[in-house]
Amino acid sequence: MSYSIRIRLILFGIAALIAGGCSSKQSVYAPHEPTYGTPKSSASIHKATMRPYKVDGITYYPTVVEVGERYRGIASWYGEDFHGKRTSNGEIYDMYDLTAAHKTLPMNTMVKVTNLRNGKSVVVRINDRGPFVAGRIIDLSYAAAKRIGLVGAGTAPVELEVLGFDSVIDSSRQKKEVILTDYAVQIGSFRRFQGAKITQEKNASVDGRYRAVIKEYRVDGEPLYRVWLVGFGSEAEARDFIQQGRYPGAFIIRNSDD
């Protein structure tokens, strides 16, 4: 075998290995980050998300709804058994993302879910169909269920409020979501304002409920810029948020302390 033929065979083998390695990797869904503005009506959502479908002999008809509409029913959740599998809209289900399954809401509808037993709420994006159990209105991801204290009980009565469509939350609804109370969570402290500003911008909206603000203090005659997340309805809610471990070193602040 000539030298040039051997070289071509080696190059061909390397290319095959690279192609095989790429094709064997499982595609990973990158979560949609909600934006805020004026969302489209659900009537303008792509037709593919509004097609009737049949499960166990029952035909379901995705429904046109409007921002502000509310519904009540029983919520449940689904987790590890479905983690990594395809959802109804083709995404990879991530039990740690804030998503949910609903039988008729358009895909990518943004919904606030409030647990009527404890008042806790979470904003989720619809990316799957279900739950196909009589009396249940929504199936939450594990992360969303944990946020509102649903994991242990398994089910709970909830209220749903439509906040937006196509992953966009109506700005007017967002203003109502941000409630200033005595409780905040400090997520950073900086000597330079620019560092605090970058952190604030990265956390302008957290879970569609909390937002970052900058508080300026003087320590030893030098400025100190603290970044707080505000919008917590109670000390317990702030404590639950910190326990998720998303912001190492975070702690609860009382607004009255400033």
Mean pLDDT value across residues 19-42 = 47
Domain 178-257 has CATH 3.90.1170.50: no
- Which residue reads 């990973």 in tokens? 28
- 156 has pLDDT over 50: yes
pLDDT at 43: 57
Q: Determine what percent of the chain is predicted with pLDDT higher than 90.
A: 31
If you write DSSP's letter for every residue of the chain in order, what string do you get?
--HHHHHHHHHHHHHHHHHHHHHHSPP-PPPPPPEEE-PPPGGGS-GGGG--EEETTEEE------TT-EEEEEEEEE-TTTTTSB-TTSPBP-TTSSEEE-SSSPTT-EEEEEETTT--EEEEEEEE----STTEEEEEEHHHHHHTT-TTTS-EEEEEEEEEETTEEEHHHHHHH----SEEEEEEEESSHHHHHHHHHHTSSBTTTBEEEEEEEEETTEEEEEEEEE--SSHHHHHHHHHT-SSTT-EEEEGGG-
Mean pLDDT value across residues 114-124 = 91
Query: What's the chain's average pLDDT?
Result: 78
Mean pLDDT value across residues 105-126 = 91
Tell me the C-alpha distance between 34 and 53, whole Å.
Answer: 27
Question: Do residues 169 and 125 make contact, with C-beta atoms less than 8 angstroms apart?
Answer: no
pLDDT at 142: 94
Mean pLDDT value across residues 90-100 = 90
Tell me the C-alpha distance between 85 and 92, whole Å.
Answer: 5
* CATH class as words, domain 35-175: mainly beta
Read off the pLDDT of residues 134-143 as tens digits, 9 standing for 90 and up: 889 999 999 9
Write a three-state SS string for 179-223.
CCCCEEEEEEEECCHHHHHHHHHHCCCECCCEEEEEEEEEECCEE
Read off the pLDDT of residues 181-216 as tens digits, 9 standing for 90 and up: 467 899 998 989 999 999 999 998 888 778 898 988
pLDDT at 194: 92
Intervals of CATH 2.40.40.10 along the chain = 35-175
pLDDT at 159: 93
Intervals of CATH 3.30.70.1070 along the chain = 178-257
| Range name among 25-29, 33-37, 113-117, 129-133 with the lowest pLDDT average | 25-29
